[in-house]
Structure 1
Amino acid sequence: MSKDNTAIGLDAILKELGPFGTYNIVNYALLLFPCFLAGMYGSVFVFEAADIDYRCQISECESLNESIWLHHAIPKEKTGLSKCFRHSFNENFTISNETCGVYDLNDTFTSAHEKCASYVYYGNSAVRDFDLGCQNWKRTLIGTIHNSGLFLSLPLTGYVSDRFGRKVALSIAALMNSIFGFIRSFSTNYYMMVVLEFMEAGFGAGAYTTAFVLAMELVGPKGRVFGNTLINVVFVFGLMTLSGLSWLLKDWRTLLRVIYAPSCLIFSYLWILNESVRWLISKGRHEEALVILRKAAKMNKVELSEPGLAPLCELEKDKPREDKEDKEEGENKAEEKPSIFFQVIRSSIIRRRLVTCSFLWITCTFVYYGLSINSVSLAGNMYVNFMLVAFIEIPANFCCLFVLDRFGRKRVMIITYVLSALLCISLSFLPKGSGWLSLVIYLSGKFSITVAYSSVYIYVSEVFPTNVRQSLLAICSSTGRVGSTLAPLTPLLALYYDNLPSIFFGSMAVMAGLLVFTLPETLNQPLPDSIEEAERLNREKVQKQTA
């Protein structure tokens, strides 16, 4: 009995178990909790290092009422008083209430500008605690360092997940989140903070992708889109909760302690969460897979058919003979196991698919985060603004639920990429202050790229073999972080040409839409468990076209 037949039989067993049984609901609820937390962890640096208000400290006048002398001491700019410069003090005047507070204010300060030596801060963030006034590169570097940590975390967690199991990788990653995130709240200087920022993301950010893969392997083909939608909606609730907690607490250190402490609870999943049956089968641990399937059937109050379980039972009977052969060829087996990944990469079909999916992911993160970063004009209050940007993702994810299973993955991705490109480019033709029209187009662009992002996430989980599914998904996701790392730089493009960011977003989305034409459709296809099954997706496409 081949493993391929066993995999196909597993999808039939999952269908018998049903998509909404008690077993599925309990396990999905457990997996939604780390997804909710990940929504907060991925964007906490926005509030942790928020660009609060501050001004130059005018030591000559600080003891007096600032409303009297402030406009004379600090030069005006387009957006208000300067945050980084002050007027030079006229040394010919003596510091007194008469000179700085009441009389001759125009003569107290000269017209010359000089950089601030120190600052007065209004608000609470790392900018105040670590004196980052007028050092925006240091402030934005916090988010960049966080995203760079994902280049380490996602492949590392993917390797642990594919080698030692999904729940092991999830539990360890969540524990790393809790430890490094909580310690970061006690940072005594900027460098301690950014090091812990990298370590928290570098060792813990893979918890979300692990939970996602485990959830996708928990359900059959018909349940994947609904499961993906549910995860994404919970992730958005995490984003909105982050904004609400930040607004309520108004203290970045307290915020970190509140959101990171619960992550340590996920470490208990080592004992209470069931391992992925599909992963157990791919590792030849059929007895454990049978135990979990029977447990699921009991919880769902269904009776699994013997023909459905027959492939697994047959493989389990053959296991003693296989174990004997494994002992005789132990050294050869040990050499073969680490080479599975390289066997996959040697496939030209999988290799091209990996490169294409990586570019799709880069485009999604670049446009998605770029639109978020450039959305400050949506509302005056930064917390309300963040909530609005997050909230638009909820209808976008429900849209995925209705269109992906009806029209297929490819068609939806092509339409949403091209639509987001047209919307982004159209923004460049609108004059500033276009009011509701620009707002509607902006939100529509965010809606479209969110649908594309959600579609790519579920599509990538369907086109790679089980043995290396999370590793290849992690490569696509970590490569995609190039987009989220470059997105904070897009406002700098506007210094050269106002509409350049929108043109960049649109151009990349167009290229991504064209590349989708080269990929196979995965609608209602069983998850491939071997290289041959993954390659067969392309062959089936060719056969349909020639039929």
Structure 2
Amino acid sequence: MNREKCDETEDASTIEATKHYTIEQVFEQYVGEFGNYQKLLTLYVWIVIAPLTGILLVSSLLILLIPPHWCKYQAPNVTEISINESSTDWHSYNIPRKSDGSGFESCFIHGREVNSSNESVNILKCKDGWKYDHSLVIVTAASENDWVCDNQWKALLPHSVFSIGMTLGGIVIGILSDTIGRIPTIALGYSIAGIAGLLTNFTSEHYTLFVAARAVLGAATPAMMVPLVIRLFLTMYTCGGVLPWIAYAIGKWRTYNLITSSCFFLVPLLSIFTLESPRWLLAVGKNTKASDILARLARINGRKIPNSILMNIQAPNTSQAPLKHIFKYKIFLRTFLLSSTIALLYTMIFAGHNIFVANLSKHPFMMLSVFAGFDCVAAVLSRFVADFYGRRKSMCFACFLSAILYSITVFIPKDLDRLIIAVAFSARMGITALMNINAVYSSEIFPTVARSRLSSVRMCISSFGTAFSPILVSFQFFGSNTPLFLFGILVAVCGFLMLPMPETLGKPLPETFEDAEKLNIKSNESQKENNESDDILLQKV
């Protein structure tokens, strides 16, 4: 009897030793799906990675803000004129008012010529430089180098170059991540970001080198966003509300940039204690190292993996369909192009709105903080709305509501600036909701066999939106609220492009291109049925 039991035990152990386990089974049965290590890793991403990513994105805006400014003026050689430079009389005497009467010009000055009996007044461009009001805005690279008026493009170009760097960097980072691993790529990205950020401090007087440093910093950004998930966007928005006041307390962009850039080197140091993804190690054939890491993970979680299990872990299936197969499925190809175009447009609006408010508001730091608060509210609400009403309907509603609100700002009298800001705040919430829902939606319409690569291509396309955003802001030349009106037009286009897109709520994720094609076909058929029923109802009415 005992011998039979021993034989049964040996047979069971033999079967266990020869059985192949997937990485999911190993985590579920032996390592633990959310043990001590996973909790520490989540905490690390929450308190280190997400805030540093927020610092990078917000700081790129803060150091290039343009403070309120006006032309320097040399006192005329007239003894009876005594003007206090900081008073309203000084401005009214030397600085012309804007044509709409909303304030004083920033780039023009009165040129006075006093004859024996007459005084002629001409409006001239600034010749002796500018004075800046740093009571509300810190000393920035723009004010330090006079990147204003005719040279304002110098303060806007780094934003575009930064975005182009993100686009190119996304391609390189993806290749590096699959070649050298996730953790080394993240550590390398943060190291490059820290070096490029520090170089920014020493190259502002050499504009070409300054722009090159911003491009390199942008190229490192995708590596810094690799560990982020959708839920951590809320932490980024929160940091966006706090950072302006830290910068304001410091007072100078060089000191602020030196501190924040130095913080990036924290991640490479902590990466020493961060374990590489065992899934990636198995995928590239490094089974021994993957087994060692799985054993360490189990020990940290208070568990143990038998050696027989570690020796029989099955490598994950990494076979992926070539991207060129997308051209065989015309309906899904249309969906992908529409999704990429929508991402391009809303990224352009989101980034342009930030630049517009930061540079044109009298209180840019307050505006950025309030916007961050609205972004947090929109991020929370959008998640519940999308889960209740569906992704497509929620995004369409957000688009058309934002379009209406942006358009309204053109018809509000300019003296009601607080009302304009309130309406712009509400429109901005729609854009944030669109971004958050679309981040989830894009992963639900792309097939598993090409999801990561299609998402990377879409992200690269959307990065060009940030590059084009300063162009939208430059249209303020035609009117102070013209950029807001353009935002409204573009977000309305997003809404119309969203109409033929499929609904994904409650539907299984597509595994292949065929599944993605069927998802779109079924969605089109259901939309046609709804339209036909609506037509019949209208005819009866």
TM-score by length of 2: 0.75
Q: How many angstroms does 1:525 deviate by?
A: 4.8
Q: How many angstroms does 1:119 deviate by?
A: 1.7
The equivalent residue for 1:197 is 214
Of the candidates 427, 432, 455, which is equivalent to residue 450 of structure 1?
Answer: 432
The equivalent residue for 2:123 is 113
Matched, 1:74 2:95: yes
The equivalent residue for 1:518 is 501
The equivalent residue for 1:487 is 469
- Letter paired with 1:87: H
2-structure distance, mates of 1:253, 1:175: 19
* Structure 1 residues 132 and 34: CA distance shift in structure 2, 3 A: same
The equivalent residue for 2:329 is 348
CA contact (8 A) 2:23 2:279 kept: no
- Letter paired with 1:243: P
Larger Cα-atom Rg: 2
Matched, 1:144 2:165: no
Q: How many angstroms does 1:399 deviate by?
A: 2.0
Aligned residues: 489
Q: Secondary structure at the match of 1:90?
A: strand
Q: How many angstroms does 1:178 deviate by?
A: 0.2
The equivalent residue for 1:381 is 363
CA contact (8 A) 2:66 2:143 kept: no
2-structure distance, mates of 1:64, 1:440: 38
Q: Secondary structure at the match of 1:42?
A: helix
2-structure distance, mates of 1:446, 1:207: 27
2-structure distance, mates of 1:417, 1:352: 20
- Letter paired with 1:455: I
Matched, 1:27 2:44: no
2-structure distance, mates of 1:131, 1:193: 15
The 5 A counterparts of 1:29-44 are 29-32=43-46, 33-44=48-59
- Letter paired with 2:96: P
2-structure distance, mates of 1:462, 1:478: 19
CA contact (8 A) 1:52 1:121 kept: no
Q: Secondary structure at the match of 2:276?
A: coil
- Letter paired with 2:230: N
The 5 A counterparts of 1:63-102 are 65-66=84-85, 71-77=92-98, 78-90=101-113
- Letter paired with 1:228: I
* Structure 1 residues 466 and 7: CA distance shift in structure 2, 3 A: farther
- Letter paired with 2:159: G
> Which blocks of at least 5 consecutive residues in structure 2 are unaligned?
1-19, 527-541
The equivalent residue for 1:228 is 230
Name the stretch that deviates more: 406-415 or 193-202: 406-415
* Structure 1 residues 382 and 497: CA distance shift in structure 2, 3 A: closer
Q: How many angstroms does 1:179 deviate by?
A: 0.2
- Letter paired with 2:104: L
Matched, 1:398 2:398: no
CA contact (8 A) 1:417 1:509 kept: yes
TM-score by length of 1: 0.75
Name the stretch that deviates more: 154-163 or 505-514: 505-514
2-structure distance, mates of 1:416, 1:257: 39
Q: How many angstroms does 1:112 deviate by?
A: 1.8
- Letter paired with 2:275: N
Q: How many angstroms does 1:252 deviate by?
A: 0.8
* Structure 1 residues 436 and 256: CA distance shift in structure 2, 3 A: closer
* Structure 1 residues 342 and 420: CA distance shift in structure 2, 3 A: same
Name the stretch that deviates more: 416-425 or 255-264: 416-425
Q: How many angstroms does 1:354 deviate by?
A: 3.6
* Structure 1 residues 120 and 502: CA distance shift in structure 2, 3 A: closer
Q: Secondary structure at the match of 1:82?
A: coil
The equivalent residue for 2:17 is none
* Structure 1 residues 342 and 131: CA distance shift in structure 2, 3 A: same
Q: How many angstroms does 1:463 deviate by?
A: 4.8
Question: Percent sequence identity over matched residues?
Answer: 21
RMSD: 4.3
The equivalent residue for 2:341 is 359
2-structure distance, mates of 1:285, 1:343: 29
2-structure distance, mates of 1:50, 1:286: 51
CA contact (8 A) 2:162 2:214 kept: yes
Q: How many angstroms does 1:466 deviate by?
A: 6.7
The equivalent residue for 1:273 is 274
CA contact (8 A) 2:383 2:437 kept: no
2-structure distance, mates of 1:407, 1:272: 43
1-structure distance, mates of 2:306, 2:432: 40
> Which blocks of at least 5 consecutive residues in structure 1 are unaligned?
1-5, 94-105, 213-226, 323-335
1-structure distance, mates of 2:417, 2:492: 27
Name the stretch that deviates more: 28-37 or 389-398: 28-37
Deviation per CA, 1:271-322, whole angstroms, max 9, x where unpaired? Answer: 322333444454455555555455545545578999xx98993526xx9xx9
Q: How many angstroms does 1:176 deviate by?
A: 1.0
The equivalent residue for 1:416 is 398
The 5 A counterparts of 1:246-325 are 246-285=247-286, 288-289=289-290, 291-293=292-294, 295-300=296-301, 313=312, 315=314
Q: Secondary structure at the match of 2:226?
A: helix
* Structure 1 residues 515 and 65: CA distance shift in structure 2, 3 A: closer
2-structure distance, mates of 1:353, 1:288: 41
Name the stretch that deviates more: 485-494 or 386-395: 485-494
The equivalent residue for 1:47 is 62
1-structure distance, mates of 2:270, 2:347: 30
* Structure 1 residues 91 and 11: CA distance shift in structure 2, 3 A: farther
Q: Secondary structure at the match of 2:491?
A: helix
* Structure 1 residues 7 and 128: CA distance shift in structure 2, 3 A: farther
The equivalent residue for 1:172 is 188
Q: Secondary structure at the match of 2:459?
A: helix
